[in-house]
Amino acid sequence: MTGKCPSAFAGPDWKLNPLHGLWPDSGLFVPTTPEEVSARGWDAVDIVLVSGDAYVDHPAFGSAIVARLLEKHGFRVAILTQPDWRTADSFRIFGRPRLFFGITAGVLDSMVNHYTGNRKIRRNDDYGPGGAAGFRPNRAVIVYANRVREAYADVPIVLGGIEASLRRFAHYDYWDDRVRRSILMDTRADLLCYGMADGTIVEVAKRAAAGERPSEMRDLQGIAYVTKDIGHLENPAILHSYEEVAADKWKYARAFKEYFGEQSPWRARPVAQKHAEWYVVQHRPAVPLAEPEMDQVYALPYTRRWHPKYDAAGGVPALETVRWSITSHRGCYGACSFCAIYFHQGGWISNRSEENVVAEAAKLAGSAGFKGSISDVGGPTANMYKTGCDIEIKKTCRFEHCLAPSVCKHLKVDHGPYMKLLEAVRAVKGVKHVRVATGVRYDMATMPGSEGFIELLCKHYVGGQLKVAPEHASETTLRAMNKPSISKYDEFLKRYREENARLGRKQYQVQYFISGHPGCDVHEAIKLAEYIRDQGHFNEQIQDFTPTPMTAATCMYHTGIDPTNMKPVYVPKTARERRWHRALCQFSDAKNWYDVREALVAAGRQDLIGTHPKALIGPRPGQVNRGSQKRREENRTYVPRIMSEKDDCFE
């Protein structure tokens, strides 16, 4: 296996390309209609990218990155956005592409986009024009790929994006409540570029342009494909077959454990899983982008706008939250059980240079509509910028959990580069405010190497509220989540409160909890409710656990087995119990009284029903402990105190 070609990012300087103009004011978008293709003077296109999202030319949207990167390397690219999937005619509008169709469902898995954690249909789609739903099908990648096959049976299909990436093996599907085949089997695609795939897709395009067939590209890292013969693989990891994992939950969990251990770009073996007479093969992940390569990706000429054809609909709502944000890095080594970032972006950090980020901030400051505030500078975890372990250690390490249940001795946490980056961005002319809006890893913020970080954060970068995600308070549930002890969160909050008090700031935290997660029975859910009660903090940000493909928590949900140790784990599955868990997180909301009472009685915790300060609810319907919410409304900073018998908590 040769890996990614070193020349994948070697190409003409985009500034010399007459198609591009100067960012961000050129107003030139990647073509989305035959008329726009003709306006470029093209008689055909090389690659058609099919996306379930509306086209937003911003680096927070994967289709924009892929299109701009391929364009940089001289390929003629068109984007087919939200095509009518009911007919193959929509997939013929650009004619037959010279090289291939690239297919993605968009920024989100289409099933997550369409349904809530309780399988209810969402009314809106922030990635569609005007926020309207109904412009993409369920299982968009499968539907699009089969329409492409109907339109052009012999044109290669290359899959990418999160929906394809996280469904590359047999996987439990929450919406079907069954194990589905690899998405490669259902799409009949030639290749699947999993992960972020910037370098991979460029190399696929270059080799296709040189006349290679997809079957000749199977030496690339970062790809998956289907074959009948695996004799060419060196020392492959052979998973239990689709048929076996669909029938046996223990084998499903074992297969997950196997491929979880084969995600290193440097030491992973190829992984194969049989589906009937075929094998789905995953080669090791692509080597993460080096800093100069990351800089190239984010220096491409994005207009940072939605395509003008969406103006009449009011634009694309998803852009508004990221329009004035800057991505400083990718990846996360937290490996939380419920999160797919480890399998998609990778468990390592790819950083941009400070100079490159500052240059983007300067361009933002000179853009029309910029009002002085950069809404975020960060990545999946803001304070992981330029942290991690030495590359030589990473190449040989088999310890996949860097932060929990314990911190790896090789992990290097130094917040200095991130603090310096924030200060450099804040110093850019025209920038009045810089915020850290992506999550801060609170346990890292108190480690050696973080000195001065919380002080700087509170002083300049919070803006009234800070997002943090303790996720739960029960140690049993936190272990299943692969999150640190709640004591780490308490330590962070103590220092956060002290620093705000010293600065004379009234700033509070928006804390996120997950309800209904594997490893949480009703007793553990009550522990979280008691923790919230003692905090004196009403919680609006509660997320119902949703099993999504290729996460450890989804494996637990389906099998009742923790794949890290292959031991049984409790899973709350019934709608009634999931309703209890969420209600307990928001016990001070009167509409939850019946569910909270039902949960407390079922757990034998009637001691928490009454009018004493430790009670969650009162004995009469709608009577709830609102002491914590009242204090939060009176004082918007976080000031916990233990309730006393004198507190008037109920109404």
Q: What is the mean pLDDT of the chain?
A: 91
Query: Poorest-confidence range of 3-7, 434-438, 487-491, 559-563?
Result: 3-7
> Could you give the C-alpha distances from 53 to 37, 92, 110, 208, 473, in angstroms and in order?
20, 19, 10, 26, 37
pLDDT of residue 223: 98
Radius of gyration of the chain (CA): 25
HSE-up (13 A, CA, CB side) for residue 400: 21
Does any domain span residue 625? no
- Mean pLDDT, to the nearest integer, of 88-103? 98
pLDDT at 430 over 60: yes
Pairing mode, strands 465-471 and 376-378: unpaired
- Mean pLDDT, to the nearest integer, of 306-332? 96
- Mean pLDDT, to the nearest integer, of 398-420? 91
Of the pLDDT bands very low, low, confident and very high (cuts 50, 70, 90), residue 645 is very low
pLDDT at 494 over 60: yes
Residues 6+ apart with CB under 8 A from 252: 170, 172, 179, 240, 245, 246, 555, 558, 559
Instruction: Give 373's strand partners.
Output: 433
| Domain total in the chain | 1
Residue span of the structural domain in which 232 resides: 6-282
**pLDDT digit string, tens, across residues 371-381:** 999 999 999 99
Query: Poorest-confidence range of 34-38, 268-272, 393-397?
Result: 393-397
Does any domain span residue 427? no
pLDDT of residue 8: 52
- Mean pLDDT, to the nearest integer, of 598-603? 98
Instruction: Give 33's strand partners.
Output: none
Does any domain span residue 421? no
Of the pLDDT bands very low, low, confident and very high (cuts 50, 70, 90), residue 638 is very low
Does any domain span residue 173? yes
pLDDT of residue 650: 59
Burial class (CB in 10 A: 0-12, 13-18, 19+), 268: middle
pLDDT at 142 over 60: yes
Asked whether the beta carbons of 556 and 518 are under 8 A apart, the reply is yes
**pLDDT digit string, tens, across residues 189-205:** 999 999 999 999 999 99
Q: For 47-75, b where at least 16 C-beta lie within 10 A, e where not — what string?
A: bbbbbbbbbbbbbbbbbbbbbbbbbbbeb
pLDDT at 265 over 80: yes
HSE-up (13 A, CA, CB side) for residue 50: 30
Query: Poorest-confidence range of 214-218, 543-547, 623-627?
Result: 623-627
CATH of the domain at 158: 3.40.50.280
pLDDT at 459 over 70: yes
Which amino acid is residue 275, in one-letter code? H
How far is the C-alpha of 457 from the C-alpha of 498, rounded, in Å? 13
How far is the C-alpha of 513 from the C-alpha of 581, rounded, in Å? 11
Does any domain span residue 507? no
Residues 6+ apart with CB under 8 A from 153: none
Place of tokens 């004799």: 231
Which amino acid is residue 181, in one-letter code? R
- Mean pLDDT, to the nearest integer, of 316-325? 96
Of the pLDDT bands very low, low, confident and very high (cuts 50, 70, 90), residue 629 is low
pLDDT of residue 509: 86
| pTM exceeds 0.85 for this model | yes
Does any domain span residue 487? no
**636 phi-psi bin (left φ>0, alpha ψ -120 to 50, beta other):** alpha
Does any domain span residue 16? yes
Which tokens hold the place of 456? 């700087």
Which amino acid is residue 382, in one-letter code? A
pLDDT of residue 17: 37
Of the pLDDT bands very low, low, confident and very high (cuts 50, 70, 90), residue 9 is low
pLDDT of residue 647: 44
- H or E element, residue 273: strand 271-275
Pairing mode, strands 278-282 and 47-51: unpaired
Of the pLDDT bands very low, low, confident and very high (cuts 50, 70, 90), residue 394 is confident
Name the 3-class secondary structure at 206: helix
**pLDDT digit string, tens, across residues 515-530:** 999 999 999 999 999 9
Rounded to 10°, the helix 593-602/575-585 angle is: 110
Does any domain span residue 401? no
pLDDT at 634 over 50: no
How far is the C-alpha of 603 from the C-alpha of 572, rounded, in Å? 14
pLDDT at 537 over 90: no
Asked whether the beta carbons of 288 and 350 are under 8 A apart, the reply is yes
Query: Poorest-confidence range of 295-304, 477-486, 539-548, 621-630?
Result: 621-630
